[in-house]
Amino acid sequence: MSRVGKAPISLPKGVEITVDKSNVVTVKGPKGELQQQVDPDLTVKIEDGVLEISRPTEQKRHKAMHGLYRALINNLVVGVTEGYVKELELVGVGYRASNTGNLLELSLGYSHPIIFYIPDELKVTTETVKGQPPLVRLEGIDKQLIGQVAAKIRSFRKPEPYKGKGVRYKGEQIRRKAGKTA
């Protein structure tokens, strides 16, 4: 069996899970509600506050789907109970970030500011502390959406390997290169 797939998901207090006939798993918790369509070959069982996913055969495809959907459903459970946070640093002289509601305005060294609308499901905050790079903080319950939005913001100015300037995830290590030798 798949190591990830066979691990049961224990449901914390305050989390309700329902599975309908078309294999759509709905997770409700204190922070919100999320849904995930599960492959029709897999069966989802909920017993005594524990969710288990089983597969019909040992085919390679079924093994892959087994681990994938177990991980996705676990992400839903964690999202509606704790939520997810992703932080981005803007490293570079004159790089700035500000937000009004869900409208994020970035100054990344181009001739124009970049204005990016953050989806309503996420909450964005910007922080500027003297002596540290500006910080953009994304919070929400959908791990996939947070990752996608953070990757899009990072793509506006990826970190370059010579000086390390650009938008990076907090704590991300950038492989540095030596400059040309005279």
Q: What are the boundaries of each domain within the chain?
A: 3-81, 84-169
* pLDDT over 70, % of the chain: 98
**pLDDT tens readout for residues 68-114:** 999 999 999 999 999 999 999 999 999 999 999 999 999 999 999 99
Say which residues have a Cβ less than 8 Å from residue 106's Cβ, sequence separation at least 6: 90, 95, 96, 97, 113, 114, 115, 116, 136, 153, 156, 167
CA-derived radius of gyration, the chain: 21
Q: Are residues 143 and 153 in contact, defined by beta-carbon separation less than 8 angstroms?
A: no
Check for a shared fold between 3-81 and 84-169: yes
- Residue 4, pLDDT above cutoff 90: no
Q: What is the pTM of this model?
A: 0.89
- Residue 35, pLDDT above cutoff 60: yes
pLDDT score, position 81: 93
Which CATH architecture is the domain 84-169 placed in? Answer: Alpha-Beta Complex (3.90)
Which CATH architecture is the domain 3-81 placed in? Answer: Alpha-Beta Complex (3.90)
- Residue 1, pLDDT above cutoff 50: no
- Band (pLDDT 50/70/90 cuts) for residue 2 is low
**Mean predicted lDDT score pLDDT of the chain:** 92
What are the two backbone dihedrals, phi and then psi, of residue 145, each rounded to the nearest 5 degrees? Answer: -65, -40
Opening angle at CA 147, ends 144 and 150, nearest 5: 150
